[in-house]
Structure 1
Amino acid sequence: MNAAPVLIGYSVAVGFVAPRLMLRAGWPHRAPALAVAVWHTLAVSFSIGIALSAYNLAMPTEHVHAGLTGLLHSCGLDVGADRPGPGTADRLAVGVPAAIAIALAGSFAFHLTRARRARTEHREALDLVGRHSPRLSATVLPYDIPAAYCLPGRRPRIVISDAAVRELTPAQVGAVLEHEQAHISGRHHLALAAVEAFHSVFRRLPLARHAREQTALLLEMVADDRALRSHSDEVLATAMYEMAAARAPKGALAAGGHTVLIRLKRILGPRKAPHPALWGSIAATAVAVLLLPLLFACPPGLG
């Protein structure tokens, strides 16, 4: 039996139905790190499902080919002499999945390189106009709007405007710096590059669009939770409010931005950690989703 129909149906469910279920669920904002992992797992599973679908379509079973040949004959087309040989099918079966893998890997490398180049150029500008503060372990930038962001990568750097240093309390500045340090230590730029690469290859897919948007939001929540370990809700929320209008340069991750309102509601509203049973069931489901396309493509033998 050819597994292509099952794999195609599975890929459609992951690419179109799963994002709706994730967006309607309440747990992702309670466990943002786990939610990021689930979004990435769905992207990987979809990629595997599409690649295996292409493989199985290129290697159809004999009776499927005979049925298609008979259909074409009934339409007056003689395709007997044009039947592709085994070598052609083999090349398609390997080439199409390989092309998908190469496109994803190449896109990931492209986004990483482009962001790294932008960060390098920005660091050079900061060396000219900014000053390093040993007390803050950050670069202070002359800017009349409270702002803070980080430049992750091999030479990470946290940047804060002098307006933020002047107008925020020491506790608020500490919470902001802790937020930015969470982005650096968590290597969040790699997770963002991964979903950007997936979106570039599957641009019209709902999963690709929502995975990119939600990953950016959820990673900010992960950094917020890191800051809340040592600072109160009020301190972080007021600091975020003061920096809501700030924008980060390309390749940087900022504490402010367009996600502030959603994050403020989360911080100031009632928060409840997910039950360990819920956490475990979601993690187990994510693992199963990752393995399902392989099980569909290689079903256990009967008998």
Structure 2
Amino acid sequence: MNAALVLVAYTALVGFVAPHLLLRADWPHRAPALAVAVWHALTLSFALGAALTAYHLFMPMEHAHEGLLGLLHSCGLDLGVGGPDPGTAGRLAVSLPAALGIALAGSFTFHVVRARRARSRHREAVDLVGRRSARLGATVLPYDVPAAYCLPGRRPRIVVSDAAVRELTAEQLAAVLEHERAHIAGRHHLALAAAAAFHAVFPRLPLACHAREQTALLLEMVADDRALRAHSDGALATAMYEMAAARTPKGAFAAGGQTVLIRMRRVLGPRRAAHPAFWGSMAAAAAGVPLLPLLVACPLGVG
């Protein structure tokens, strides 16, 4: 039971405390790609911690009163099994973590497939209504509001409105198109699907709620940074402002949207790159955090 208690404490720390600490930090907006990796590492660590907690709670251990079933039986709660049956406890110890893994994998598959179907339907409509522009590398739609978005996946599309083509300057439009190419090249839709899948399984968990919200915001910042490599901050910020009110379909990434004000302040404000030493330490932490539940469980479980 020692391993189970430590794992419970660790999982609670990751699920409830770590998200608030990360939200209060200022470095994620300076290194958004690294911050996305840290958020996802925390979700993976929480899932492993929860699975290992269930395993150690129910798996019969020597001198551990046959796991959680034995502890409940000693308190007068036999759960209808008539005592701490090692076979029942062993089956629960394996089936509960497996059920959690299946739920997460199934939720991820569901979100990926649902978004792919929505993008596919919209892609067909775009191909019918819009006109392909080889010069822009995008499909131009008749729409009287400046807008731009991408449909990632196997057959990606970048879509811009004819109002955006008319009203944005050449540099502004080029910055927007580069922003959308970053979403497609980075396969950002998969990161969003993973965050949404975790939230669907743990809907009330602070880590799940904040990871989903922050992943969407940080991925937009990642795409902004790629656009800023070749274009001025003023051009990108102005283009975002012009497209702030545009609507985009489900499953698409838009250069405008609800996060425009946060991103505009970041683009126009002073930007300091994360120190290489800090970047390296946080990257190592992101890689190591998912392994912590295993390091916590194994020594205590053996002992």
Instruction: State the TM-score, normalizing by the size of structure 1.
Output: 0.94
Residue of structure 1 equivalent to 2:284:
284
Q: Does 1:224 align with 2:224?
A: yes
Q: Show the 5 A alignment for 1:174-193.
A: 174-193=174-193
Q: Does 1:194 align with 2:194?
A: yes
Q: Does 1:211 align with 2:211?
A: yes
Quote the offset at 1:127 in angstroms: 1.8
Q: Is the 8 A contact 1:140 1:161 kept in 2?
A: yes
Structure 1: distance between partners of 2:15 and 2:25: 17
Quote the offset at 1:287 in angstroms: 2.6
Structure 2: distance between partners of 1:275 and 1:120: 41
Closer, same or farther: CA 69–188 of 1 in aligned 2, 3 Å: closer
Residue of structure 2 equivalent to 1:166:
166
Task: Tell me which amino acid in the other structure corresponds to 1:247.
Answer: R
Residue of structure 1 equivalent to 2:23:
23
Q: Is the 8 A contact 2:133 2:140 kept in 1?
A: yes
Q: Does 1:234 align with 2:234?
A: yes
Task: Tell me which amino acid in the other structure corresponds to 1:120.
Answer: S
Quote the offset at 1:43 in angstroms: 0.3
Structure 2: distance between partners of 1:282 and 1:188: 21
The number of residues matched between the two structures is 302
Q: Is the 8 A contact 1:69 1:79 kept in 2?
A: no
Closer, same or farther: CA 69–173 of 1 in aligned 2, 3 Å: closer
Closer, same or farther: CA 119–247 of 1 in aligned 2, 3 Å: same
Structure 2: distance between partners of 1:112 and 1:87: 37
Structure 1: distance between partners of 2:185 and 2:224: 13
Task: Tell me which amino acid in the other structure corresponds to 1:290.
Answer: P
Identity %: 74
Residue of structure 2 equivalent to 1:95:
95
Structure 1: distance between partners of 2:278 and 2:21: 16
Structure 1: distance between partners of 2:86 and 2:190: 40
Structure 2: distance between partners of 1:78 and 1:96: 19
Residue of structure 1 equivalent to 2:11:
11
Q: Is the 8 A contact 1:31 1:274 kept in 2?
A: yes
Quote the offset at 1:124 in angstroms: 1.2
Gaps of 5+ in 1: none
3-state DSSP class of the match of 2:247? coil
Q: Is the 8 A contact 1:73 1:79 kept in 2?
A: no
Q: Is the 8 A contact 1:196 1:212 kept in 2?
A: yes
Quote the offset at 1:288 in angstroms: 2.9
Residue of structure 2 equivalent to 1:108:
108
Structure 2: distance between partners of 1:239 and 1:302: 59
Once the two structures are overlaid, the 10-residue window that deviates more, 258-267 or 61-70, is 61-70
Closer, same or farther: CA 13–281 of 1 in aligned 2, 3 Å: same
Q: Does 1:295 align with 2:295?
A: yes
Closer, same or farther: CA 164–78 of 1 in aligned 2, 3 Å: closer
Structure 2: distance between partners of 1:219 and 1:254: 11
Quote the offset at 1:65 in angstroms: 2.0
Quote the offset at 1:157 in angstroms: 0.4
Closer, same or farther: CA 196–246 of 1 in aligned 2, 3 Å: same
Structure 1: distance between partners of 2:114 and 2:298: 38
3-state DSSP class of the match of 2:160? strand
Post-superposition CA distance 1:32-87 (Å, at most 9, x none): 00000000000000000000000001114343427986885676x78998124322
Q: Does 1:139 align with 2:139?
A: yes
Quote the offset at 1:133 in angstroms: 0.6
Closer, same or farther: CA 126–86 of 1 in aligned 2, 3 Å: same
Quote the offset at 1:112 in angstroms: 0.5
Instruction: State the TM-score, normalizing by the size of structure 2.
Output: 0.94
* Alpha-carbon RMSD: 2.2
Closer, same or farther: CA 39–78 of 1 in aligned 2, 3 Å: closer
Q: Is the 8 A contact 1:2 1:61 kept in 2?
A: no
Quote the offset at 1:301 in angstroms: 9.3
Closer, same or farther: CA 70–237 of 1 in aligned 2, 3 Å: closer
